[in-house]
Amino acid sequence: MLRVADDYAPLTHPGKLRRVNEDSYLARSPLFVIADGMGGAQAGEVASAIAVDVFKDGLPDGPGSVEERMAGLVSEANRQVHVRSMGDRDLQGMGTTTTAVYVGDPDVSIAHVGDSRAYLLRDGKFERLTEDHTLVEEFVRQGKLTPAEAEEHPQRSIITRALGPEDDVVVDTLSIRGRDGDVLLICSDGLTSMVPEQRVGEIVMEARTLSAAASALVQAANDAGGRDNITVVLFRLEEVGTGSTADEHTMVGAAAPSTAEVKAAVEAAPPVEPRPERATTVPREPRPPRAEVAPPKRHRFRGLRRTLVVLAIVLVPLGGGAYLASQAVYFLGVASDGSVTVFQGVPYDLPFGIHLYSSAYVTGLSAQQLPAPLRKKLLDHKLRSHDDAFDLARKLELGQVGSAR
C-alpha cells in the first residue's frame, strides 16, 4: 500500500520585502495544496485562502477519475474567487495560483494553474512535474527562449493563467505512478524566482530530513533577496502493509510561524509576528514593522511641484497639517531596490528630511520587468485615489498590462 510518510514538512515565510504573506497551503495527507495570491492590499491573501478552503474536505467521492475530480475542485475555487472579486470593490482583480497533489494508490495526481510548481525527487533525479502558465514559459514552449534565458528574463513573473480573473479557467492535470521513497515538493514562485531549479534539487537531496530541507529552501530564497512570499511543502511516499495517515498539518491564509519556530527552522530569517485567523469579513490586521523603504526616484513635476511648495509653506506652520492632507492620495513609484511600490502621500520632500509619502504596498514586480513604454507611463508618480492605485498594482501583478491605466 502506497501512502504519505509521517515526516512531511510544510513551511512558509513572508520573505524580506513583503509585509503580508499572501500564500496559503493545506497539508492534510493524502491531499496537499499550495496557493500564491495576487492582487495587492489584502486581496491576494483572500484569493489564496478561498482556493485552499475549497480543498479542506478532501477529494470528493463520485463519478470521474481522480484527475477530473481534482480539476473540479480547482474550477470551483476559481468560481468562488471570481464571484468574491466581482462582489467586493476592494477585491476586484484578485487572483491566485493553485497547485494541488493527491496521493492515491498507486497514482499521484496533480491539478495545476499558475506558476507555483510541483517537483519529484526519485533515484537521485530532480524533475519538475508542472508547467508554468507564464508569458516567458510560453516563449520557451514556442522555442523563442531557452530555459536558461527564461530563468533571467525580466518578464518571467507575468502569468497568463490564474484563478479569479475570469469566470472559467483551464486546469492542467497529470498523474504519475508513485514509488516507495519518492519525495515531492510543491512551492510558490517565491522560492523558484530566487533560487535556481538545479540548486533547489541539490538542497532537497543534501538535507538529512524533510524539515531540514524545507528550512534550507526558505533560507536560500531569503539569502538571495527574499523578494516574495516563500512557501514549500515536502512529503515522502512509502510502501506499508497497514497503517494510518499522518496527523494534519494545515496553514490556511499564510499565517507566519512564530518567532521561536522561525528561529529554529530558518536560522537567519527575520522573525515574523503571528497573525490571527482570518475572519470572513477580512479585517485589516496590524502589520509588523520593517525596514523603511528608501525614497523613490523622482521626476520633474513642474506645476505640481510648485503647487506643493506653496502647500508646504502654507501648511507647515500648522504642524502636521501638510502630512495629514497628503495622506488622501497615492502614487506608483520605484523603491531604491527596484520594486514597483504603491506610496501613500505626495512625491515631495520637505526641508529637514521630512517626507510627505510612505510605502503602502510593495508588489512582487521590479521596474525592469515592465516594458519601457509601460514603465514610463505607469510609474510617473501620478496622484491617484486609494482604489485606483491598488487596482493598478493588482493588474500589474496579474500581468493585465493591457488594461492598466
Indicate whether 309 and 244 sit together in one domain.
no
Residue 42 confidence (pLDDT): 65
User: What is the mean pLDDT of the segment spanning 97-118?
Assistant: 97
Predicted local distance difference test score (pLDDT) of residue 354: 66
Which residue among 265, 293, 322 closes a domain? 265
Residue 271 is assigned to a structural domain of this protein: no
Bridge-based pairing of strands 354-366 and 183-187 is unpaired
Same domain, 381 and 245: no
pLDDT band at 319 (very low <50, low <70, confident <90, very high): very low
Q: Do 250 and 332 belong to one domain?
A: no
**Residue 134 belongs to a domain:** yes
Please give the average per-residue pLDDT across 302-314, as a whole number: 40
Given this model, what pLDDT does residue 397 score? 76
18 plus 123 within the same structural domain: yes
Span of 13-22, 299-308, 366-375 with lowest mean pLDDT: 299-308
Domain-embedded: residue 297: no
Residues 316 and 260 in one domain: no
Among 210, 244, 265, the domain boundary falls at: 265
* Residue 256 within any structural domain of the chain: yes
74 occurs within a structural domain = yes
Q: Mean pLDDT lowest for which of 10-14, 35-39, 321-325, 354-358?
A: 321-325
- pLDDT for residue 40: 60
Position 71 scores a pLDDT of: 98
Q: Is 296 within a domain? A: no
Please check whether residue 335 lies inside any domain of the structure.
yes
Could you tell me if residue 307 is inside a domain?
Answer: yes
Provide the pLDDT for residue 364.
74
Residue 311 CB neighbours (<10 A): 18
The verdict on 229 and 330 lying in the same domain is no
In terms of domains, do 88 and 170 share one? yes
Structural domain count of the chain: 2
Q: State whether 175 and 315 are in the same domain.
A: no
pLDDT of residue 353: 61
218 and 334 co-located in one domain:
no
pLDDT digits (tens, 9 = 90+) for 212-229: 999 999 999 999 999 999
Q: Are residues 46 and 96 in the same domain?
A: yes
What number is the average pLDDT over the span 80-103? 93
- Residue 75: pLDDT band (50, 70, 90) is very high
Do residues 227 and 309 share a domain?
no
Confidence band (pLDDT; 50, 70, 90) for 349?
Answer: low
Indicate whether 182 and 55 sit together in one domain: yes
Look at residues 265, 295, 327 and tell me which one is the last residue of a structural domain: 265
Q: Which domain holds residue 116?
A: 2-265
Q: Which residues does 188 contact at the CB level (< 8 Å), separation at least 6?
A: 23, 34, 36, 97, 116, 228, 229, 230, 231, 232
Residue 253: per-residue pLDDT: 41
Find the CATH number of the domain harbouring 15: 3.60.40.10
Calculate mean pLDDT across residues 38-63: 89
**Grid cell 500500500 in the structure block, residue:** 1
